[in-house]
Amino acid sequence: MKIVVLPGDGIGPETMAVTVDVLEAVSRRFGLRLELDHDVTGHESLKRHGATVTQSLLQKVKAADGLMLGPTATYEFKDESKGEINPSKFFRKELDLYANIRPARTYPGLPNKVGAFDLVVVRENTEGFYADRNIASGGSEMLITKDVVVSLRRITRECCERIARSAFELAMTRGKHVSIVHKANVLRIGDGMFIDMCQAVAREFPEVRVDDFIVDAMMAHVVRAPERYDVIVTTNMFGDILSDLTAELSGSLGLGGSLNAGRDHAMGQAQHGSAPDIAGRDVANPFSLVLSAGQLLGWHGQRKGLPDFLRAAQAIEEATVAAIAAGDCTRDVGGKLGTAATGRAFVQRLLA
Ligand code: ATP
């Protein structure tokens, strides 16, 4: 498996260094023969190539079997004509990575704000309210007069259908329960179509229990009783917000793994951003990116029918559970170690 590795900005280089060590460790332990191709994105690419991402990088990623993207300083990239392209948007759009799979679970030994739970948010990743990517050319957010802005939301039958299918297929491997999250009381046509398509796909999965919730009420439900949920399927922006909440409820935003998957490509990417407030201080939690790398290996293993990759993905999740229980982790999740030491302890645990 060839994986392109892009460390990114802020805490990206520190957390990606740990992730690379972890990938090399599981490659040795499970005989995966991973080939890591190191390149740059974000500010480093802007400095070297005049753009945060380049067409030649895209071609390289298309030819590879997977991509690991570190967090990038998206907030600082404002002008595409100056090469300031949001790398996350770029790869999601160019590779049609329509399913954003964001698991959130509690860990034994890690105090969390609610009871134990284990759920996955399945977020549509290519349309919705994301005005910088929901049309073929240009942006769909317009300044109508200097005081009036219109932002368009795109919902298509095809995108609803394929994200629903991802959710139901995932639910079949877990607790066989899908919760549809929407705002159909206000966005009657768009979210009405989203619910209809989810229900249509649901008929192909009669074993799966289905319910639906309005997004604002869902925020209260997941805080009150997150253990009631298994797979939550929702549109782009609702999923973005809801999954940060569920990651934080699990103990820390620094624990939220995230896979962006399409038909032919996938990208592991931490759920959090570049966290400039803690960059370069050896305090960032690397587990979000490490868990995302595990998800990428699992995706490849499932797609190609390679049990060793599935075992490697499982080993990464189990090592995370064990590391947190032993306190071999960063301060945000109750440990005393820095980022690099957390990585060294993790690799030792994997190879023990
Ligand atoms: P960006 O502009 O790139 O989105 P941000 O700081 O606005 O960056 P996040 O990076 O998501 O947004 O960070 C939100 C908060 O969570 C920050 O206070 C940050 O320090 C903390 N945080 C994010 N990621 C981690 C991590 N891996 N480990 C520890 N704390 C983190």
Here the CATH number for the domain that contains residue 154 is: 3.40.718.10
Could you tell me the distance, in angstroms and rounded to a whole number, from the CA of residue 280 to the centre of ligand 1? 13
3 state SS of 244: helix
Q: CA-based Rg of the chain, rounded to a whole angstrom?
A: 20
The reply to whether 27 and 118 lie within a common domain is no
The reply to whether 154 and 120 lie within a common domain is yes
The reply to whether 126 and 242 lie within a common domain is yes
- Quick one: average pLDDT of 101-128? 93
Does the beta carbon of 86 sit less than 6 angstroms from any atom of ligand 1?
no
The reply to whether 243 and 129 lie within a common domain is yes
130 is catalytic: yes
Residue 230 lies in a domain: yes
Instruction: Determine the pLDDT at residue 165.
Output: 98
Instruction: Determine the pLDDT at residue 133.
Output: 80
The reply to whether 233 and 118 lie within a common domain is yes
Could you tell me the distance, in angstroms and rounded to a whole number, from the CA of residue 10 to the centre of ligand 1? 9
Instruction: Determine the pLDDT at residue 170.
Output: 97
Residue 121 lies in a domain: yes
Question: Tell me: the pLDDT tens digits for 168-222?
Answer: 999 999 999 999 999 999 999 999 999 999 999 999 999 999 999 999 999 999 9
The reply to whether 86 and 152 lie within a common domain is no
Spot the catalytic one: 2, 183, 196, 308.
Answer: 183
- Nearest atom (ligand 1) to Cα of 277: 20
Q: What angle do CA 30, 299, 318 make, to 5 degrees?
A: 55
Instruction: Determine the pLDDT at residue 135.
Output: 85
The reply to whether 89 and 118 lie within a common domain is no
Nearest partner of 227 among 175, 287, 271, judged by Cα: 175
| Number of domains within the chain | 2
Spot the catalytic one: 130, 191, 229, 328.
Answer: 130
Spot the catalytic one: 62, 216, 304, 336.
Answer: 216
304 is catalytic: no
The reply to whether 240 and 168 lie within a common domain is yes
Containing 191, the helix (H) or strand (E) segment is helix 190-202
Instruction: Determine the pLDDT at residue 139.
Output: 83
211 is catalytic: no
The reply to whether 244 and 121 lie within a common domain is yes
3 state SS of 249: helix
The reply to whether 171 and 199 lie within a common domain is yes
Does the beta carbon of 288 sit less than 6 angstroms from any atom of ligand 1?
yes
Residue 173 phi, psi (nearest 5): -90, -5
216 is catalytic: yes
183 is catalytic: yes
Does the beta carbon of 275 sit less than 6 angstroms from any atom of ligand 1?
yes
Residue 240 lies in a domain: yes
Does the beta carbon of 256 sit less than 6 angstroms from any atom of ligand 1?
no
Could you tell me the distance, in angstroms and rounded to a whole number, from the CA of residue 271 to the centre of ligand 1? 9
* Cα dist from 123 to 68, 103, 234, whole Å: 19, 11, 5
The reply to whether 90 and 123 lie within a common domain is no
- Quick one: average pLDDT of 47-57? 97
The reply to whether 160 and 67 lie within a common domain is no
Q: Which residue has the higher pLDDT, 26 or 138?
A: 26
Distance in angstroms (rounded) separating the CA atoms of residues 334 and 349: 18
Q: What angle do CA 343, 4, 231 make, to 5 degrees?
A: 70
Report residue 136's pLDDT band, with 50, 70 and 90 as the boundaries.
Answer: confident
Could you tell me the distance, in angstroms and rounded to a whole number, from the CA of residue 274 to the centre of ligand 1? 6
Which domain does 221 fall in, by range? 113-249
